[in-house]
């Protein structure tokens, strides 16, 4: 389970605690760039990978490259689209700094590290996205889910409320009934 920038394992316990029912869950402190985080994640062995925000981006990329199921919460799935969004929303707290950081990364790297460009490799995905998320618009998850489905693979998109995803029992419900959509 990978958390986002500025977060911690404790702050995302609502995501990983329910997963413990299904097996071992590792939640390391994880404050890496997408590029560094992906390299670290690919060294690990896992049956399922989950992540929140930037950790969700890394989880989607690692899941695609290893052919493993993914649970991602509010992930930026198109880093170029995210850069454009942040430019238009520089008024949001932290958005200006995040925009400056993303704009320092070459466009080719942003494109290569955008899960939407690896949708054909994603086989089984659960996306959870707050419908009023102002930092990462829910459109990111909608676009990715549509592309995964176009490839004939499974993707479930579950909208959350406000900026946070729905309550943890939802994860158990989805795990018990993977075909729910």
- Side-by-side strand order, sheet with 124-130: 49-52, 70-73, 124-130, 154-160
What element of type H or E holds 125? strand 124-130
Report DSSP state, residue 47. S
Instruction: Read off the pLDDT band of 161 (50, 70, 90).
Output: low
Look up the pTM and report it.
Answer: 0.86
Cα(first)–Cα(last) distance of the chain, in Å? Answer: 23
User: Residues 59-102: pLDDT tens digits?
Assistant: 999 999 999 999 999 999 999 999 999 999 888 888 888 999 99
Q: Output the CA torsion 138→143→146→150 (10° steps).
A: -160
Element counts in the chain: helices (H) and strands (E): 8, 4
User: Residues 29-65: pLDDT tens digits?
Assistant: 878 899 999 999 999 999 999 999 999 999 999 999 9
Which residues are bridge partners to 156 per DSSP?
126
- Residue 162: what pLDDT? 52
Mean pLDDT of 111-129: 97
Q: Please give the CATH number for the structural domain made up of 10-176.
A: 3.40.50.1820
CA pair distance 63, 113, nearest whole angstrom? 13
Q: Where are the domains of the chain?
A: 10-176
């Amino acid at each position: 389970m990978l958390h986002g920038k500025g977060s911690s394992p404790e702050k995302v316990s609502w995501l990983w605690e329910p997963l413990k029912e299904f097996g071992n869950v590792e939640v390391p402190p994880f404050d890496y760039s997408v590029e560094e985080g992906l390299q670290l994640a690919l060294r690990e062995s896992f049956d399922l990978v989950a992540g929140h925000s930037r950790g969700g981006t890394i989880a989607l990329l690692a899941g695609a490259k290893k052919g493993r199921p993914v649970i991602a919460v509010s992930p930026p799935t198109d880093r170029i689209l995210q850069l454009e969004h942040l430019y238009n929303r520089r008024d949001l707290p932290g958005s200006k700094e995040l925009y400056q950081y993303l704009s320092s990364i070459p466009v080719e790297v942003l494109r290569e590290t955008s899960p939407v460009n690896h949708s054909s490799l994603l086989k089984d995905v659960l996306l959870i996205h707050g419908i009023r998320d102002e930092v990462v618009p829910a459109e990111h998850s909608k676009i990715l889910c549509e592309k995964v489905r176009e490839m004939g693979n499974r993707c479930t998109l579950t909208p959350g409320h406000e900026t946070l995803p729905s309550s943890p029992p939802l994860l158990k419900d989805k795990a018990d009934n993977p075909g729910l959509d």
